[in-house]
Structure 1
Amino acid sequence: MQYIYLHGFASSPKSAKAQDIGDRFAKIQTKLKIPDLNAGNFFQLTITRQLTQVALEFPNDSVPITLIGSSLGGLISAYLGQKYPQVQRLVLLAPAFGFLSHWLPKLGDEELQRWQQEKQLMIYHYGEGRSLPLSYNFVTDATQYQEKILQRPIPTLILHGKQDEVIPITASRNFARLRPWVELVELDSDHSLGNVTQEIWQAICLFCQLP
């Protein structure tokens, strides 16, 4: 089994969650790949580019894969699970279902129009600790992805905070309600899930049958 962790939007493999889970995998001597989805070019980031990049990380077809994805990385994981049969399990941490519908209204109409006109917008990048430009292609690319196609019955564990201020827990509730193969665990936390790292690890170990 190959384990791959996908970090969130404007984040990096050095994020607190990625580091915590990476350290826990190391302690049980199990390899966890954590690719950098910024790929050295945050400006050109799109969902399509991330899907292509992660698929290139997959080992040969005979090796089953478990994807662990945080926020936008969770959404990417779900699309990869739909497309590639060798993805046999998903663990989604506050997955960014309905990402554009939650994020764009927060930007406001003026900011959105400016982004369309100027073709780039400065976004605070948590991984870099500074603002970086992001191409409007990110939005146009994302609009082509419709979550209703995510129908492959792949064993899926969702861990989502009830006080999530970025992606409301209703997004995961709605996703799980229509898919009996999805288990949703609601946690007393926000989008960062920073106060429930031990609970998350226990849930991952149980779901993935880790030692």
Structure 2
Amino acid sequence: MVDTTQAPKIIFIHGYESSGHGFKGNYLRSIFPEIITPDFTGELLERMEQLRNVLMAEEKWVFIGSSFGGLMGALYMMEHPEKVEKAILMAPALVSPLIPENFKLKKNDNSVIIFHGKNDEVVPLEPVRKFAEKYFIKHKYHLVDDDHRLHATTKSIDWKKLLKI
């Protein structure tokens, strides 16, 4: 009997002022050559449309979202929970000024793992923690000794173990 189940594809969603070819995108590609690391441009609604176009190609995804990319991944996951196997959000910009007022936020039971640097001076800690507690039923929040970029944390994570589906 042939197994027709397909492993989820992995996507890295970069931050607002970054690209898919920055430090995290390159580092993750060195571990997972099959990961896709597209570049997104414009404001949130434009980027969300670009993300939807990329994600329509596959049925299941694992997200690694950094900062603004974490916000994009979270919003997409709330729209299409059935398409997301797991989300790793790194210093995600889950703060109200960035979330569109007309977006319907809803509780989500996907597996969500958050890494947030205690020295982050870009994305405030408490609003992200409260957002996660309110909307992500199955989440783990890791406060790490790092800053917003999370370079040291990115290198210290056992990514193969973390992304084991």
- Whether the TM-score (by the shorter chain) exceeds 0.5 is yes
Specify whether residues 170 and 145 from structure 1 end up closer, same or farther in structure 2 by C-alpha distance, changes over 3 A only.
farther
1:78 to partner: Cα distance: 0.3
Structure 2 equivalent of residue 182 of structure 1: 139
1:67 to partner: Cα distance: 1.2
Q: 1:89 aligns with which of 66, 76, 86?
A: 86
Amino acid at match of 1:98: V
Specify whether residues 11 and 145 from structure 1 end up closer, same or farther in structure 2 by C-alpha distance, changes over 3 A only.
farther
State TM-score, norm by structure 2. 0.84
Structure 2 equivalent of residue 160 of structure 1: 116
Structure 2 equivalent of residue 70 of structure 1: 66
1:25 to partner: Cα distance: 1.2
CA contact (8 A) 1:172 1:184 kept: no
State TM-score, norm by structure 1. 0.67
CA contact (8 A) 2:95 2:128 kept: no
C-alpha offsets along residues 7-47 of structure 1, whole Å, 9 cap, x if unaligned?
A: 00121122112211121212xxxx11111102xxxxxx121
Structure 2 equivalent of residue 7 of structure 1: 14
- Between the aligned partners of 2:37 and 2:152, the Cα distance in structure 1 is 22
Paired-residue identity, %: 26
Structure having the higher helix fraction is 1
Q: 1:207 aligns with which of 141, 162, 165?
A: 162
SS at match of 1:154: strand
Specify whether residues 87 and 32 from structure 1 end up closer, same or farther in structure 2 by C-alpha distance, changes over 3 A only.
same
Specify whether residues 60 and 11 from structure 1 end up closer, same or farther in structure 2 by C-alpha distance, changes over 3 A only.
closer
1:90 to partner: Cα distance: 0.8
Structure 1 equivalent of residue 25 of structure 2: 18
C-alpha offsets along residues 122-176 of structure 1, whole Å, 9 cap, x if unaligned?
A: xxxxxxxxxxxxxxxxxxxx54355x71412111011111110000222322123
Gaps of 5+ in 2: 1-7
Amino acid at match of 1:79: L
Amino acid at match of 1:37: F
How many residue pairs match? The answer is: 156
1:99 to partner: Cα distance: 6.1
Structure 1: 4+ residue segments shifted above 4 A? none
- Between the aligned partners of 1:65 and 1:181, the Cα distance in structure 2 is 17
1:207 to partner: Cα distance: 3.1
Amino acid at match of 1:3: I
- Between the aligned partners of 1:99 and 1:194, the Cα distance in structure 2 is 25
1:98 matched to 2:95: yes
Specify whether residues 100 and 153 from structure 1 end up closer, same or farther in structure 2 by C-alpha distance, changes over 3 A only.
same
Q: 1:194 aligns with which of 147, 151, 155?
A: 151
Structure 1 equivalent of residue 5 of structure 2: none
- Between the aligned partners of 1:2 and 1:8, the Cα distance in structure 2 is 20
